[in-house]
């Protein structure tokens, strides 16, 4: 059993060895077949593997018999290594086989797609909104353009197809394709866009789908849209393709006026008024040309001199007739029949009224477009008249005229008329967008805790002022009541005897005068500042700043503190006097400390008590003998009330005198009588 188990275990090994041997023997290429040496060697290896396998199998089946009969054999010697040339051949053959196999490993690669354009990606990523703002959404304005184009197709071409023979059986399919495309645009507008328009109800903007749809269905526009899509084309079965049956499409006229309103909001100037009035004129001429051709066809082409003779381009010739008729130029042939006379009379009446109305509208359009310029001219004329009445010098008048011209060219209107009609909130929004970046750079307002709303309030108080070249913005010594922010242009700080020396040039975006604005009243300007060219400055008055700071007490404290810090930083360093400087009036030296102490004690105990204590402390010398002669110096005159204070010893050898000099100062005099042969000493302190 154990032997059979071992045989079973070795059988897979033997089979694998045989497979390996078979694979080795199987030639894989023409190169391996040509190698005779390699083939012989492989055969030897296979025979050895087979013999070894048989012996191992017999040993496992009968281990005793195999041990007696079969002598021990030495292990076979290892095969000699192949010669160098053969090894190289084997390597070469293997490499050749790999090279031959590689081409069969074919992997198909798809061509790389080009990158998608940004506009196409934007279209694919676009998601249609659930609600549309009809006043600001650009997509809606573009869609209105498409709807207006479809409406104009019907308005302009329905009369042409009815009157002129341009619609034939050969091109009828093209006309119908264009008609049904316009109808499809009408349906999309009524089903998708109009029910999604936002509206205002009670001051709130409604964006709910159901409410927007119900609101659209209750409007007059919905009724006109439904009527405009009434399918009168079913009568084509009886009348043929007649363009007059599409006249309900003209009832979608509201989209034309809505598009005009949106374009007025988008365009910078009122060009839409001129375009719309010109369109009215051209369309009236277009209808008259169609009617003239219809009348000529009714009378018979070329039947009379008045009708169209059928030569040349029919539309151009009929349009020329309409222009001469409605504008009443004249030079037309006289009508001969009753129909021609009635037609011409109606043309004349319509032309007079239509053109008078259009000329009036054109005048209104031009007047509205030039209203600002007319106001500017009126203001300038009034100013010139005022200056002439008071005999203002010509130089001053020229400067005022220059100011008017520059203000009009740079701003388009006078500053006092800007943004007057807007509410305070909108003026603040515009001021923040235009001026906040400049005011935020002012060092005075760059401190922690500065209220942002306070800065916004300051923006609404800024006043724009234009200075002409050479005008002084401020002069040295003036009371500083304004802060200046340079919006455009340059100013120069000048000095010198003729005020022509330029110290520094301040450019747009800079600020000056802000420290005096936040300081106390009475601050004076320290420099002369004048405009180098045309300079547009924003001015903030101190009174306006005070009115604003009343509502921001915390910011007011911080603002004062910041102004004080900036003032200290800008003060020049004090120059120390040099040692060689000689003072004309030297400063008064301080009073000695010992004398101050003596005066203080004197005020408390009296002068006699003070010097009595000093006498005991220092043990003065005993008085001289009675034979001692008094000092020859005469005693001072007796003191009057309020004069000197005098104290002396018993023998009058020491006299102390306090003499008042000026307010807060006293002179202490001590007189000592000398011995014989010595001079009198006098000490002043």
Does residue 624 contact residue 651 with C-beta atoms inside 8 Å? yes
Q: Is residue 519 assigned to a domain?
A: yes
Q: Splitting the chain (685 residues) into consecutive groups of 10 residues, what average pLDDT does each group show?
A: 55 60 49 61 79 77 52 48 47 47 52 79 82 89 94 95 92 94 95 93 88 93 94 90 92 93 77 82 92 91 89 91 82 87 88 82 75 80 88 88 81 59 74 75 68 82 86 87 85 88 86 67 77 87 85 81 68 45 53 66 56 53 48 46 53 65 64 54 42
How does DSSP assign 5-60, residue by residue?
A: HHHHHHHHHHHHHHHHHHHHHS--SHHHHH-HHHHHHHHHHHHHHHHHHHHHHHHH
Co-location of 426 and 347 in the same domain: no
Length of the chain in terms of residues written:
685
Whole-number Å distance between alpha carbons of 565 and 468: 34
Domain shared by 438 and 518, yes or no: yes
Give the pair of three-digit tokens for residue 587: 């400063």
Q: Can you say whether the dihedral through the CA atoms of 444, 446, 450, 452 is positive or negative?
A: positive
Residues 333, 430 within the same domain: no
In a domain, 142, yes or no: yes
Alpha carbon of 437 to those of 440, 455, 510, 537, 551: distances in Å? 5, 11, 11, 15, 23
Q: With respect to residue 35, please indicate whether it lies within any of the assigned structural domains.
A: no
Q: How far apart are the first and last CA of the chain?
A: 144
> Is there a domain that residue 331 lies in?
yes
Q: What is the CATH number of the domain that holds 466?
A: 2.60.120.10
Q: 337, 355, 373 — which closes off a domain?
A: 355
Copy the structure tokens of residue 607.
Answer: 């002068």
pLDDT at 52: 80
Residues 431, 337 share a domain: no
Same domain for 241 and 348, yes or no, is yes
Pair 334, 442 in one domain:
no
- pLDDT digits 0-9 by tens, 590-635: 666 666 666 666 656 555 555 555 555 545 455 554 444 444 444 4
343 shares a domain with 427: no
281 and 429 inside one domain: no
Per-residue burial over 390-414, b = 16 or more CB atoms within 10 Å of its CB, e = otherwise: eeeeeeeeeebeebbeebbeebeee
Domain hosting residue 223, numbered range: 138-355
Is 104 part of a structural domain of the chain? no
Q: Rg of the Cα trace of the chain?
A: 59
Taken in order 672, 675, 681, 685, is the CA torsion positive or negative? negative
With contact defined as beta carbons under 8 Å apart, do 288 and 326 qualify?
yes
339 and 468 in a common domain? no
* Domain end marker among 515, 549, 569: 569
Q: pLDDT digits over 625-681, tens only?
A: 444 444 444 444 444 444 555 555 555 566 667 676 665 566 667 666 665 444 444
Q: Is 582 exposed, middle or buried (0-12, 13-18, 19+ CB in 10 A)?
A: exposed
φ, ψ for residue 651, nearest 5 deg: -95, 10
Q: 466 and 473 in contact (C-beta within 8 Å)?
A: no
**Same domain, yes or no, for 172 and 287?**
yes
The last residue of a domain, from among 355, 379, 394: 355
User: Which residues, in sequence order, are CB contacts of 238 under 8 Å at separation 6+?
Assistant: none
Q: H or E element: which one contains 598?
A: helix 593-605
Statement to judge: residues 438 and 324 lie in one domain: no
Residues in Cβ contact with 70 at an 8 Å cutoff, skipping those fewer than 6 apart:
55
pLDDT at 318: 93
Name every residue whose Cβ is closer than 8 Å to that of residue 281 and which is 6 or more positions away in sequence: 355, 358
Domain tally for the chain?
2
In a domain, residue 374? The reply is no
| Main-chain phi, psi angles of 588, to 5 degrees | -70, 130
Are 437 and 316 found together in one domain?
no
- Cα dihedral 128, 129, 135, 138, rounded to 10, equals -30
Residue 655 near residue 646, CB atoms below 8 Å: yes
pLDDT at residue 178, as a whole number: 95
| 669, part of any domain | no
Whether 246 is in a domain gets the answer yes
Show the tokens assigned to 101: 């196999």
- What the block records as the tokens of 231 is 């399918």
């Amino acid at each position: 059993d154990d032997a059979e188990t071992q045989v079973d275990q070795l059988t897979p090994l033997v089979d694998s060895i045989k497979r390996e041997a078979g694979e080795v023997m199987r030639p894989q290429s023409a190169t391996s077949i040509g190698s005779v040496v390699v083939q012989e060697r492989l055969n030897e290896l296979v025979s050895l593997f087979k013999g070894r396998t048989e012996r191992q199998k017999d040993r496992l089946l009968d281990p005793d018999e195999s041990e007696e009969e079969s002598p021990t054999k030495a292990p076979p010697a290892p095969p000699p290594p192949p010669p160098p040339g053969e090894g190289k051949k084997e390597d070469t053959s293997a490499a050749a086989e790999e090279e031959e196999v590689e081409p069969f490993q074919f992997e198909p690669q798809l061509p790389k797609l080009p990158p998608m354009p940004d506009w196409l990606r934007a279209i694919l990523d676009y998601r249609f909104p659930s609600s549309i703002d009809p006043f600001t959404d650009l997509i809606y304005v573009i869609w209105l353009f498409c709807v207006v184009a479809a409406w104009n197709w019907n308005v302009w071409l329905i009369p042409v197809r009815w009157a002129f023979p341009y619609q034939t059986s050969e091109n009828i399919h093209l006309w119908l394709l264009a008609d049904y495309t316009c109808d499809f645009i009408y349906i999309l507008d009524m089903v998708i866009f109009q029910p999604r328009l936002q509206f205002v109800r009670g001051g709130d903007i409604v964006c709910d789908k159901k409410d927007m749809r119900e609101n659209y269905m209750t409007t007059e526009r919905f009724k006109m849209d439904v009527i405009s899509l009434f399918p009168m084309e079913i009568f084509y079965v009886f009348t043929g393709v007649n363009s007059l049956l599409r006249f309900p499409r003209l009832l979608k006229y509201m989209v034309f006026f809505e598009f005009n309103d949106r374009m007025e909001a988008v365009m910078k100037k009122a060009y839409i008024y001129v375009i719309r009035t010109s369109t009215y004129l051209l369309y009236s001429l277009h209808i008259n040309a169609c009617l003239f051709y219809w009348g000529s066809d009714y009378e018979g082409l070329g039947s009379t001199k008045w009708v169209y003779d059928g030569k040349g381009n029919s539309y151009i010739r009929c349009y020329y007739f309409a222009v001469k008729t409605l504008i009443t130029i004249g030079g037309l042939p006289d009508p001969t029949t009753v129909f021609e006379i009635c037609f011409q009379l109606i043309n004349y009446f319509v032309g007079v009224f239509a053109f008078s109305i259009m000329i009036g509208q054109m005048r209104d359009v031009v007047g509205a477009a030039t209203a600002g310029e007319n106001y500017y001219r009126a203001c300038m004329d009034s100013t010139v008249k005022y200056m002439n009445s008071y005999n203002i010098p010509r130089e001053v008048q020229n400067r005022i005229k220059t100011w008017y011209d520059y203000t009009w060219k740079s701003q388009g209107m006078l500053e006092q008329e800007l943004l007057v009609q807007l509410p305070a909130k909108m003026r603040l929004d515009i001021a923040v967008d235009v001026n906040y970046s400049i005011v935020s750079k002012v060092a005075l307002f760059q401190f922690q805790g500065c209220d942002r709303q306070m800065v916004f309030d300051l923006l609404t108080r800024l006043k724009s002022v234009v200075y002409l070249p050479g005008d002084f913005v401020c002069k040295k010594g003036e009371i500083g009541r304004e802060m200046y922010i340079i919006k455009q242009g340059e100013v120069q700080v000048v000095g010198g005897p003729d005020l022509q020396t330029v110290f520094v040039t301040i450019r747009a975006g800079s600020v000056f005068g802000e420290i005096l604005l936040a300081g106390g009243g009475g601050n004076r300007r320290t420099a002369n500042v004048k405009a180098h060219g045309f300079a547009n400055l924003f001015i903030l008055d101190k009174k306006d700043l005070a009115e604003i700071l009343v509502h921001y007490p915390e910011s007011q404290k911080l603002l004062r503190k910041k102004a004080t810090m900036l003032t200290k930083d800008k003060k020049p360093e004090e120059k120390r006097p040099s040692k060689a400087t000689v003072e004309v009036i030297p400063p008064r030296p301080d009073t000695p400390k010992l004398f101050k102490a003596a005066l203080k004690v004197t005020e408390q105990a009296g002068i006699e008590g003070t010097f009595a204590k000093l006498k005991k402390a220092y043990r003065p010398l005993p008085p001289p003998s009675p034979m001692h002669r008094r000092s020859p110096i005469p005693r001072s005159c007796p003191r009057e009330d309020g004069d000197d204070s005098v104290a002396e010893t018993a023998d009058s050898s020491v006299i102390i005198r306090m003499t008042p000099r000026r307010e807060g100062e006293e002179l202490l005099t001590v007189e000592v009588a000398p011995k014989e042969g010595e001079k009198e000493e006098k000490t002043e302190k």
